[in-house]
Amino acid sequence: MSSGKRPLIALVTGAIFGFSAALAGGVLAEGPSAHDRDSSDTATLPWQEARLFAEVYEHIRHDYVDRISDQKLMDAAVRGMVSALDPHSAYLDSEEFEETRLSTMGSYPGVGIEVAADGSVVKILHAIQGSPADQAGLRAGDEIVAIDGKEVGSDVSGAIEHMRGVSGSTVTLSIRRTGTTGLMKFALRRAKVEVHSVSSQSLSPGYGYVRIEDFSDTTPDEVHAAVSMLQRDNPGGLRGLVLDLRDNPGGVLESGAAIADDFLNGGVILTAEGRTPDARFEMDATPGDLMNGSPIVILVNSGTASAAEIVSAALKDHGRALLIGHKTYGKGTVQTVIPLQYGGAVKLTTSRYFTPSGGSVQGKGILPDIVEDGPEHQPADVMTAKDAPSLQSRDAEVRLALTALQDEVHGRAVPGHLMKTVALSAPATLATDDQVP
């Protein structure tokens, strides 16, 4: 894949922030140099605007009903200035910057549990296999009452912050478990926890399913491993693949482009345009298709955004995959995370990207080839007991995707880019959003 030398590039939606794989090695984006800026840029703030800012600042300091520290006022001013640009630009303080960094690395030092607020308490949704929490016997449904003696309440963010820490250090959780009396205490030694963004399983002989939750630094390796496992589990050959990108908010741009490259033998994946040289680039696919040309169906919905839209558009435009579901989110901009001299960072929109056909998804999204009629449903949870009903029986869209793959293999496929509306029944089992400390 050809991308040229660029600063850290990321695509994000909502609370998901992304950076390039180079971040883990300490390479971060730099701001544009003076010769890269437009000639209209000035080195100093125009005096009238500076005077307006100073006047408002002083009124707030002296006249606002509550006393506000200068640090808090400046922080609010910077946040407002950046957030007013567009919905995806933001100022990140040091803690937010670190959280962003951890969210894209695919691993972090912690205890390895997925948690969520449930009314007035924080509940454990899942203990990651092999993690300190899993080894200690923590279970789904356990309530976290206190961490190191400090009550948690329903503060998920605070609980996550307190459970993360330096590998080898210890943290004590006070747990309330249904069916037991009193609180149970677990002393956990923090360790490196691997967070996986990819899950997979066989749907029927010769047909596989891969779900990508978001795009982190480790996602390409995880997809390679998932496809390899499916190929091993189907000795007769993998004749088709369902790639599930529903509710995938994006993440690391390079990871998204790498996944598109995995299923293409050549051609443009995306082009980007911006004001600085680093913001103008093209990414191209290289020879090699993990599926060796076997058909692919991509499941999308209104939560499919950013890097997930890059994958969807690239495979759709090159006629490599059929898209099924609902129209995607429509985020066609690129953010660069730029560290600041005194800590924190600014996440700034620096480019607009375009699909292989030359179009932009910004504000428009991608219309699938087969459009589901009716309300959207969350993807069924892949991680279930072995004796649970099959994924396709629990998820109507997966069932439709499997049928489309089988039709294509047998020469009965819906022609590429031919719109068709279908009505689907709701799945019986739904996935849940979660957070991982």
262, 223 in Cβ contact below 8 A?
yes
The three-point CA angle 266-271-275 to 5° equals: 155
**Phi/psi at 402 (nearest 5 deg)?**
-65, -45
Distance between CA 430 and CA 395 in Å, rounded? 8
The secondary structure element, H or E, covering residue 308 is: helix 307-317
331 given a catalytic annotation = yes
306 given a catalytic annotation = yes
Instruction: Single out the residue of 231, 382, 369 nearest to residue 312, CA to CA.
Output: 369
Distance between CA 121 and CA 162 in Å, rounded? 16
The catalytically annotated residue of 20, 197, 255, 306 is 306
The secondary structure element, H or E, covering residue 261 is: helix 253-262
Number of alpha helices (DSSP H) and beta strands (DSSP E) in the chain = 10, 22
Instruction: Single out the residue of 193, 186, 226 nearest to residue 209, CA to CA.
Output: 226
In sequence order, what are the residues at sequence separation of 6 or more whose Cβ sits closer than 8 angstroms to the Cβ of residue 386? none
The catalytically annotated residue of 244, 317, 369, 395 is 317
Q: Where are the alpha helices (DSSP H) in 39-193?
A: 47-63, 70-83, 94-105, 132-136, 156-163
The catalytically annotated residue of 331, 347, 369, 381 is 331
Give the residue numbers annotated as catalytic, written as ranges.
306, 317, 331
